[in-house]
Amino acid sequence: MLALFQTIDLALNLYTWVLIASAIFSWLYAFNVINSSNRFVSSIGMFLFNVTEPVLRPLRRVLPNLGGIDISPIVVLLLIFFIRSLMWNSIYPLVA
């Protein structure tokens, strides 16, 4: 059972880093720091968009419009933190 919890925790941790990378990439793209016509940069951007957008899109519909500030990654990071804390502090002691 520990292996299952560790695998879920690892997946949530990796998704946390993907969300952070996506936010940083979007800032770099918005401020024209990276060359958007570069094929490698474009493929990284599409990968990050395709991985994070299915989770962020439903939240963007629910959250209020803050005038160009997207707080949906922060909300997802808080949800991941909550799930990880709940998993290790409440669920795992009951099953272990």
Residue 89 has pLDDT above 90, yes or no: yes
pLDDT in tens, 40-64: 999 999 999 999 999 999 999 999 9
pLDDT band at 96 (very low <50, low <70, confident <90, very high): confident
Helix ranges (DSSP H) in 31-95? 39-62, 72-86, 92-95
Residue 67 has pLDDT above 90, yes or no: no
CA distances from 81 to 9, 76, 89 (A): 10, 9, 12
Q: pTM for this structure?
A: 0.91
- In this prediction, residue 36 carries a pLDDT of 84
- In this prediction, residue 76 carries a pLDDT of 98
Mean pLDDT of 73-91: 97
